Structure formats: structure tokens, C-alpha cells
Chains A and B, each alone.
Chain A
Amino acid sequence: MTISNASPVTLSTLSAALHNRELSSVELTTDYLNRIERHSDLNAFITVDPDSALKQAEEADRSIATGNPGPMTGIPIAHKDIFCTQGMATTCGSKMLEKYISPYDATVVERLKQAGAVTLGKTNMDEFAMGSSNENSFFGAVSNPWDKNRVPGGSSGGSAAAVAAGISPAATGTDTGGSIRQPASFCGLTGLKPTYGRVSRWGMIAFASSLDQAGPITRTAEDAAIMLGIMAGFDQRDSTSVERAVPDYRATLDDSLDGLTIGLPREYFDQGLDSEVGDAVERALHQLQSQGVRTVEIELPNSMLGIPCYYVIAPAEASSNLARFDGVRYGYRADNYQDLNELYCRSRTEGFGPEVRRRIMIGTYALSAGYYDAYYLKAQKLRRLIANDFEQAFAHCDLIVGPTAPTTAFRIGAKTHDPVSMYLNDIYTNAANLAGLPALSIPCGLDSQNLPIGLQLVGNYFDESRLLNVAHRFQIESDHHLQQPTKV
């Protein structure tokens, strides 16, 4: 079997090829390392470690030869540079951690390693996961393989660009306000944010602790099911990790969609929605209806207030989470300082980029004396209203569908002048983070400029199986997920 760009490869096809000895993991890994090299202009990777990757591939080949290989054995993947990896730099897209090498692996990394996956390298991202375009990285912007003048989305832009360009079969990402789903939408991929607590946050550098979740970015729903099955599960090192059995996500992928009800929030489909995005979503809904699904209109009256709510809670938590970066025990330390205060201020000001500093300031303000009630507390109350909206909606439907992002990929530099305009990218995605619900984005078409459009499915708590099932059935009857950027 040859790996070509003509037909996108999936984890399941690669796995079959490896198990059937059609090719070895070393060959596969070498191939991907070469591709990464050829497409370095995308700037999707921050660190690539060929020696380590090939060693892992060799070991994987040994397991394949001798024992019981699993679905990820020997498969090369990329990790968003927010996951701690022992022995390989973890920069979080920041100068602050430019040279940081974690002494331990994140749980997500551990589990994929144990499953035999081969780590190609660490992908580029918006600094400390703060951004929706991957333009906020110390290591430079990432290009969207569909149009190199456009952004891949963020903050998991590097992971999305890598998978879309075919230089990594799959990648991990994190999602705090839409950072897996929106890049997946912009890059024509499947991206899943699991239920809060489904995947361990141990070793995942914290941005907004009550919102962050790790998830897979893949070409297909089946691949996402494979990866989620390995990433998910209780971890005692994370107090927010939920003790709940992980179902076999692949087992239910082919279940019939007959009788399922999809809720359509009226707030998502107003006249402000880009017509091409709206049309693609409508067509997708028609397709699902033809597959046995019925739709009902629902209301999520407070969901659109998710953005201001999110932009208080996330920066507030981040301002606290990032206080540990002070130049004392690890990370960037300023060269010139006279006293402790200057050490702190200079290290942090020089080490953090402008968006990070902006959010730390907002977050600090939102928590400060006299403002806590008006901002942080208010946002947490609004958050409960948002969660309640979903709860009520799920009494009438099995999952909720709408667009993932209000637009397709915008030009690099188009929104960097105005933080607020950038924040509005999250309009459909961050409510799921606020409520802690699982949500998935799958491609549902291309616009007139050949840019991918994403369809978002939001499920009830721990209902990832259903989301993956609907996505998979949709993908069986359509080919949007098979589209690839032509120029790559």
C-alpha cells in the first residue's frame, strides 16, 4: 500500500496496513518525517525529534511482530505543544517555556505511548492556548494548508494544519473555548472536545482549569473514536477527572440514526450567519434527516452570552494559573534585574506575548477587590444559566447541531488589530466548555473560496458515543471529510 495524498489516510487504514505488514512503522514514520520537512513552511511544528520517533517506531514494529498490537501501535501522531513530554521540549507556544523540558509525561502522552503511538513532534499553538488563529505564537503564525494566507484557527492551529496537510495522520489538541473544534472547522477535519473530566488534565499546561479539555484532531469520526478510547479515562492525579467507565466508542459507530432528534437552537441560525456557512449546515441537516434523524427547534437563550462570560472566567483562571511563571524554578528568566520585583516583572513581561499579558490583566482585574462580584461571580452565575439552557434543551433532543464557526478561515492579520473581533470566533463553541458538555466538529462542505465549513454537534454529558456515531454515519454518506487542500 502506498501512502499518497490522493486518498487521505486514516488511523484505521494505517493500522490495518501495519498489522498486515504491508509496511512498517519505521517506513511510515520516515515518510511522515519527510513530509513534515517538505511542508515546514506551514510552521505547524515547533519541535520534531526524528531520532526519538524512529526509535519508538522500531519498538512498535517489534510489538507488531511479536504480540498483540493495538489500533494505535506504530501510528505516528503529533502532540499539541501544551502536553508535557519528557525529554522533548514543551513550549506552550511561548518564549516563557522556549527551552523547557518537562521531567514527566502528560497522562494523554503516557496513554498514547503505552498504546504504541509514535510521537513525531510537538505542534505549534497560540501561546498558552490563548487565541483563535495561531497568530499568537512566539514561534510564528501557522498557515492553513487550504490557503497559506489564511489562519488554520486556534489555539490548536499547528495540530490542525499538520493533519490537514497530511504531514501527521492525527494529532492531539486542547479545547477551552473552541480550540479543537474551530481549527478542525477551518481545516476540514474532525475535532472532538470531550465532556469535562473525561480526559485527564495531568501534564496539560493549564489555561482555564474549569474549561480545558484534551481531545483528538483527526480526519474521520472513526479515528477520533480510536484516539478518544485511548486518551479517555479516570486518572487519580487529576481531581477533576471523573470516575466513569470508558465505553467502546467504535462499537456503536455504525448504530442506526433512526429516531434520533436533533435540536436546532434558534439563536444559532439568525440572519447574522454567513450565508455560505448557513447553507452548508442546512444541507448537512437535510442529509441527516434523510438518514432518519428528525429536527426540532430549541432555545438556548443565554448561549450567545457565552463569549463575555468566557472572556471573564478564562482570563481570570489563567491569570492565576500563569502566576507560577516567574523565572525562579524553570522557564525564562530576565537577564537584567535589580531586585525580586524586577525579576518577576521583567521575566514575565519579556517571556509572555501581548495576548497573554492582555488576558492576565483582564483576569486580574475581574478577580480584584471591588470587581469580583460584577465580573467573576456574575460570569459564574451566567455560566449556570447557560448549562441550564442545555439541560432543558436535552429534554427535547438527543444532540444539538449548528455551525462550528461563524465564518470560514480568515486571512492572517485580519483580526489581530482588534481582540474583541477575534473573540467572536468562539461564538458557537464556548458554551459547551462553559457547560462542560462534549462537542464535535466535522466538515460539511466548502465555501466558494474552497475553504472548509464545519458542522458542530453538541451532546449531553458523557454522550461522546452518540456524537461519534452521528458523525460517522454522516461521513459514510458524504465525502466532505475526504476533501483535501489541493496545493499540498
Chain B
Amino acid sequence: MSDWETVIGLEVHVQLKTASKIFSGAATDYGSEPNTQACAVDIALPGVLPVMNQEAARMAVVFGLAIGAKINQRSIFARKNYFYPDLPKGYQISQYELPIVAQGQLEINVDGQLRSIGITRAHLEEDAGKSVHEGFQGATGIDLNRAGTPLLEIVSEPDLRTSAEAVAYLKKLHSLVRYLGICDGNMQEGSFRCDANISVKPRSSSTLGTRAEIKNINSFRFVERAITFEIERQIDLLEEGGSVIQETRLYDADRDETRSMRGKEEAHDYRYFPDPDLPPLLLSDQFLDQVAASLPELPEARSARFVSEYKLDPGEATKLVDDRAVADFFEATVKDSPKEAKRVANWINGEIAARLNRQNLTISDSPVTPDLLSKLIQRIADGTLSGNTAKEVFSALWEGERDVDQVIDDKGLKQITDSGTIESIVDEVLNGFVDQVEQYKGGNTKVFGFLVGQVMKRSQGKANPKQVNELLRNKLG
């Protein structure tokens, strides 16, 4: 295998979450009754004309700036001509020679290794409708609700070398577009679609091999599987003396293999030409400045700041910035108690994340607000609560309690810090577990933990663990 080198390029279609379509005023909501969101322009009635949605342009620029790309202040819409029932005009309005976003890059981290992956370009275009093959006798049903939804097609340089890198790139891109608020990233609904171009070549060779395109992979896991399969397929083919055909293939998740697309092998001549209905898009310096000023702190920079300002680990920080709302939640919590940043991060990345996941919620649905979390953590910091009792309070808050101190009082969870009280419990335990004491004195250090546990149990978890430890050690000698 190591005689071969893999070259992977990815094309991602990101559905921009504008309210209306890119060239018409119809809604873009997902899942509506067929053809109820397809207006005259979308169904290409005779005489209709496209009018550009400024939000789509703004979102494209936001993306471009976020990847450090050159923005083409003058870009052109072109017609890509072909016949297909879900393409009502018989052409797709896209961008060809002059896309709105030019060269940029995205940094990925694969097992600690950082790599910068080039992004060749990103351009605006309109989505096609949907073909429904089931449910119509001998026919295909066409739903044009999706026709005209704005897409940003993001094309990577063929810089990726492994399926792991490909997945890392996609995850990073996915996270970024959600972070920027330009895409909801819902892969099941088709908001984030990936095509992969894969070729292999002998390591010694400098010429690229023939590539195959795998279309429309809609999960990270499938991307990995599809690429892995395809690499093997191509290598096997070449090793047997065959050659790779340039073609489009589909990934079959059930069979875990890629398959040639039937009947699509005619070479497409799209006859691109500048769309005469849409003059060139000119973005002023002022517009670019405005968009740049409106950019949120980008994930990388924010993560780095979390590390330097709040002393978080890079891993913790990265996890927090994966979702902008989560990062905001973190900062809102931490603003009153910056010293507890690490603790806050742990709670968010741990307990909160787990519950949100289980209940299929987002951070904005969290019943524990930044204020509540902040309060809770203050009570841990000031010794009122221990790790365990804090968890109990948290549960109560998650269930709807609104006052941290009230809960502590009601449940009598205040940590025991009075050394006298603790000492008497420790004495009780030492007297009650004589065998274990003997074992400890005999050299079995592990039994210490058991004894600590017993003290905690007797105190209903309220004893200050540090003091318990100290006292036990002193008494055991």
C-alpha cells in the first residue's frame, strides 16, 4: 500500500440559511409540502427573471474572509446548461470563470498533526429541485421547493492524502460554516453535501492518476468508508494492470462500496456563458469592510484566546469553540469568575454536553443558564459543595430549580468542613472497619480509598474530601 499515494480533493455544497431563495422571494424552509415554496421564478415560467439576494452574497463573503481568502470584488454569474427534470430552466445559475471567493485555506488537525489545506475557490449557485422516484407508478415526481435555494460550492485543492484528513477537513468546514451562522449543517436534510475526487498514483510518480468522483456523501462516516473503499478499488485495479476510468460513482452505504452511476457517462458540455439576465456583481470596499467588521471572532483565534486568557488546554478550548453558542455560553459563565474557567469548561464539555446530546437539545435549550452555572461553580470554589453534591444540585437545576442556594439548603447539601465533625466520622469509620485498617498498616495502600469512600458515605457525600484525606492519613500514620 505504501507504494501508492492518494490524492483527494473535496467539493462541498453548503446550503446558505437565507430566509428566501437566491434569485427569488420564495421561502427556503425544509420539509414543506411539495411545490408550495416554488414561485414563478423557481418553476421557470416564461418571462420570469432572477433578482439577487444580498444575504447570499454577504454570507459568501463572510466565509471567504473566515478562510483568509481573496474576495473577488467583481464576480460573474454564468449559466451551466443541461437538461434534467429537477432543473426547471434547463440551466443552473452558477459562477464559472470569476467566483466570488478565490484562494483561501483551512487548517486541520489529524492526530495532533496540523496541516493547511488549500481551498481553490468558493462560488454561489442555485440548488436544483428534488426528484422523487418512489411512489409514482413508472414515473418520477419532481418537487421544486428546493430549486433556487442558495448554495456555496467550496472546492478544496487536491491537498488531502488520507481518508482521515478528508474527514478532518470536512468536520472543520462543517463546524466553521455553522459557527459563522451561514449554514445549519444538517447533513440529513442535505444542507451540507460532499463530493470527493479521488485518484492514486505510484509514490515515485509526479503525474496525477485518473480520478473518480464520488457524489453526494451525506455523513462523515460514509465519507471515510467511501474514500477507503475507493482507494482500495483503484489500487487493486491498477495492480492488476487495469486503468481507472474518469467517472462519477455513488457510495452505497448498505453494501459499503462505490458504484459507477448508470447512464451518466456522457461527457457533459455545459456551455457556460455569462448570464445576460444578471450583470456582474460588484462588491464595494465599504461592503467588504462592513462584513469584515461584523465577523465574529473566528474559532481558531477564540480557541487560542481561551488557552491564553483562561488557561484552558487546547483540547478543551477546541471543543468549546466547535459551536459558537457554546463558546458564548462559556464566556458568559466565566465572566464573573474567570479563575474557575477550567472548571466551567469541564462542566460544559462534560455534564452539560452529555445531557444535551442525550436529549437532542442545543445549548440554547439548556435549563442551566450561564448565571446558574456560574453560581453553582462559585459554591464549589468556596467549599460549600463538593464534586458529588454539586452534581446533585446540577440535576435539580436541570429539572427546573432556579436558586442554587435554595437547593443546597433544601437538600441539606452544604459541605461539611468542620474538622471536628469530620474527625468524629473518621473515627467512626476507623473503629468500624478494623480489618481494613490492619490491611492498610500492613502495606495495602489501596484500601485507603475504601476508607475515604466510607467516610464520604457516612457523611452523605458532604464531607470535604481534602480534609477527609488529611485526617485519615494523620490517623493512620
Residues of A within 8 A of B (CB): 83-84, 90, 92, 97, 100, 102-104, 106, 201-206, 208-210, 236-240, 316-317, 319-320, 322-326, 328-330, 340, 344, 364, 367-369, 372, 376
Contact = CB atoms under 8 A, between A and B. Distances in A.
28 contacts: A97-B46, A102-B47, A103-B40, A103-B45, A104-B47, A202-B47, A202-B48, A210-B276, A237-B49, A238-B51, A239-B50, A240-B49, A240-B276, A317-B276, A320-B91, A320-B273, A323-B89, A324-B90, A325-B46, A329-B44, A329-B88, A330-B45, A340-B85, A364-B271, A367-B81, A367-B273, A369-B271, A376-B273
A368 B270 CA distance: 8
Given A97-B46, A205-B47, A367-B81, 18 more contacts: A84-B47, A106-B47, A206-B46, A208-B276, A238-B49, A320-B81, A320-B90, A320-B91, A323-B81, A323-B83, A324-B89, A326-B83, A329-B88, A330-B45, A344-B83, A367-B271, A369-B271, A372-B271
Contact of A203 (B47, B83, B140, B279): B47
Contact of B90 (A203, A237, A316, A323): A323
A369 B269 contact: yes
B49 A201 contact: yes
A464 B50 CA distance: 27
Interface string B91-109: 1000000000000000000
Nearest to A329: B43
Contacts, number: 97
Nearest to A376: B273
B260 to A, nearest CB: 20
Contacts of A236: 51
Interface string B27-48: 0000000000000100111111
A204 B279 CA distance: 18
Contact of A316 (B45, B51, B273): B273
A332 to B, nearest CB: 12
Given A320-B81, A344-B83, A202 B49 contact: yes
B46 A102 contact: yes
A239 B46 contact: no
A340 B271 CA distance: 21
A368 B271 contact: yes
B278 interface: yes
A206 B81 contact: no
Nearest to B41: A237
Nearest to B268: A369
Nearest to B44: A324
B410 interface: no
Those 8 A-B pairs whose CB atoms lie nearest each other, nearest first: A323-B90, A367-B271, A209-B276, A210-B276, A203-B47, A324-B44, A205-B46, A84-B47
B267 to A, nearest CB: 9
A239 B90 contact: no
Given A328-B142, A367-B273, A368-B269, A206 B47 contact: yes
Contacts of A202: 47-49
Contacts of B81: 319-320, 323, 367
A155 to B, nearest CB: 16
Interface in B115-164: 140, 142
A239 B279 contact: yes
A372 B273 contact: yes
B208 interface: no
Given A239-B50, A324-B88, A324-B89, A209 B43 contact: no
A206 B276 CA distance: 11
Contacts of B91: 320, 323
Nearest to A345: B83
A342 to B, nearest CB: 12
Given A97-B46, A104-B40, A326 B273 contact: no
Name which of B40, B52, B89, B271 has the most chain A CB atoms within 10 A of its CB.
B271
A293 to B, nearest CB: 36
Nearest to B274: A380
A461 to B, nearest CB: 15
Contacts of B43: 329
B277 interface: yes
Contacts of A323: 81, 83, 89-91
Contact of B52 (A106, A201, A239): A239
